[in-house]
Chains A and B, each alone.
Chain A
Amino acid sequence: MIEQRETRARTRQADAQSADIDPASFRDPSGFVFRRSGVLFRQVNRSFAKEWDDLVASGFLTTLQSRGILVEHETVGAGNALDPAIAHTVIRPEPVDFVSYPYEWSFGQLKDAALLTVDAQIAAADAGFTLRDATAYNVQFHRGRPVLIDTLSFERAERGAQWIAYGQFCEHFLAPLALMAERDVRCGLMLREFIDGIPLDLAATLLPGRTRLNTGLLSHVHLHARAKRRYADRPAAGAAAAASRPMSPLRQRALLDNLRRTVAGLDWKPAGTEWADYADNTSYGETSAKRKDELVESFLRDAGGAVVWDIGANTGRFSRIAASLGRQVLAWDVDPAATERHYRSIRRDGTTSILPLVVDLANPSPGLGWANRERPSLVERTNADVVLALALVHHLAISRNVPLPRLAAYFADLAPALVVEFVPKGDPMVNTLLATREDVFPGYTLDGFRAAFAERFEIAAELQIEASTRVLFRMVRR
């Protein structure tokens, strides 16, 4: 009998595990995220039942949702559980437009996500709760703004307890932001390696000495790193010492206020990178630029679909055209300054249908985390109906030596339709790329481009852009 029960339990566990549990949802025993028939659910486990009921009864989650801090959800009940034996209830969260990761965010996006997280903890502390997980992966951009997606991250605060996620907040948000603002914005890419946040001792080593004059960075990064090192091999002594120093509400609020001020005080001016002023310096004259806008609009309209990936989006001139057609747009660019300018412009305008993100298409985000499945790669996350690749092919084919057939294959992996611009040799931009190097690209011709892409796509339309040598294509995947 016991054996049968154990077998059933094992089978149930195996069934649950082989079902559509989100590969990133395994750390918190309070519940997990799963998909059924494409619909996103979050199971709340019995181990968290008391805390969940307390959270719901308090109205705190509703308060956070009304302030736009927490993603909305609907309670659908334990009848929808993936693993009923351990289920207390199930909620259906509002799905976000696209799951992006901190190493794909611009400086301003990471900063806004940090402010959202500390604001959530301030609100929680005021209501007698605490945010028990401050990972940057719990923030997603939805309708143009950051939002917390982990509804189970809150619990009733213990009287006098320190903020358990303080160290995590500093490693996921403050350390990378400080490095980006005070050392080099490219340090944001370190988050691709350190998926649990940038270790504070490393951040302290890399930050310029002058950051010790900033009270917030001196405290939360430099001295914090030293304290962590000091207690690293005697955690029990540290925990005992911490227990003997309870946090009054005033101290808690002072800490959070200082963290918030430190984050808010970090700034980075998006200038000085290769692409920062690129949009203002292209070789297009006014006539051909206007004609290109019209052609892109027409090709995008004909391509249809709901989601456009504008790859090589720069500051978003063509993303805005796609958005004006009612499309949801992911605007990818390699340059953190262009992406930052784009993000600031959509925040300023209140645009909700464009999400600018940073990616190097010659080295796109790989699968990361446990078994390389916790944070899926770029191509695994594609939801694109159309790829828009303008003034991009020459950069990948010539500057990065990617052969045209490989470009066509990757674009075909990303979306079933493509609007792409070919910039031939002789164009001032291509001449610039070839100015200091040998031309080892005999196949880089209009005919070579057509032949390479024809293997993956049917060419549905092809038009030369007026007053230029550039050609715009609309293609459909074979």
Chain B
Amino acid sequence: MHHLLAYIDPASGSLIFQAVIATLLAVPFFLRTQIARVVRGIRRGSRSGDDSAS
């Protein structure tokens, strides 16, 4: 990691911890965003269905 313009000390413990915790958090985040996408798609579908019915 090379930060040319870094003028604060990022603390290496923070960098390595962040990499580890982000990996763990990525799984539920991915699932949540996928579920949200599906729910949005269903809602959009039902709304356009309503529109065409009317």
Contacts and interface: CB of A to CB of B under 8 A. Distances in A.
Nearest to B32: A257
A223 B17 contact: yes
Contact of B13 (A132, A232, A245, A246): A232
A241 B22 CA distance: 14
A376 interface: no
Contacts of A161: 1, 3
B54 to A, nearest CB: 36
A132 B18 contact: no
Contacts of B53: none
B50 to A, nearest CB: 32
A57 interface: no
Contacts of B17: 223-224, 227-228
Contact of A245 (B10, B16, B25, B30): B16
A255 B18 contact: yes
Contacts of B28: 254
A228 B30 contact: no
A29 B16 CA distance: 26
A247 interface: yes
Contacts of B52: none
A132 B8 CA distance: 8
Main secondary structure on B side of the interface with A:
helix
B21 A219 contact: yes
A15 to B, nearest CB: 24
A163 interface: yes
A250 B3 contact: no
A251 B22 contact: yes
A144 interface: no
A231 interface: yes
B21 to A, nearest CB: 5
A46 interface: no
B40 to A, nearest CB: 17
Contacts of B13: 167, 224, 227-232, 238
Main secondary structure on A side of the interface with B:
helix
Interface in A370-428: none
A258 B25 contact: yes
A161 to B, nearest CB: 6
Interface string A149-160: 000000100100
Contacts of B2: 158
A254 B20 CA distance: 12
Given A228-B13, A232-B13, A251 B26 contact: yes
Contacts of A132: 3, 5-8
Contacts of B14: 162, 166-167, 170, 224, 227-228
B28 to A, nearest CB: 8
Contact of A168 (B8, B19, B25): B8
B33 to A, nearest CB: 8
Contact of A155 (B5, B10, B18): B5
B16 A242 contact: yes
A239 B12 CA distance: 5
Contacts of A228: 11, 13-14, 17
Contacts of A27: 7-8
A136 to B, nearest CB: 13
A164 B22 contact: no
Interface of A: 27-30, 48, 51, 132-133, 135, 155, 158, 161-168, 170, 219-220, 223-224, 227-232, 234-239, 241-243, 245-248, 250-255, 257-258
Given A155-B5, A167-B11, A235-B11, 13 more contacts: A166-B18, A224-B14, A228-B17, A236-B12, A237-B12, A238-B15, A242-B18, A251-B22, A251-B23, A252-B22, A254-B29, A255-B21, A258-B25
Interface of B: 1-3, 5-8, 10-23, 25-26, 28-30
3 smallest CB-CB distances across A and B, nearest first, come from A238-B12, A167-B14, A227-B17
17 contacts: A132-B7, A162-B15, A162-B19, A163-B18, A166-B14, A170-B14, A223-B17, A227-B13, A227-B14, A230-B13, A235-B12, A238-B15, A242-B12, A243-B1, A245-B20, A254-B26, A258-B25
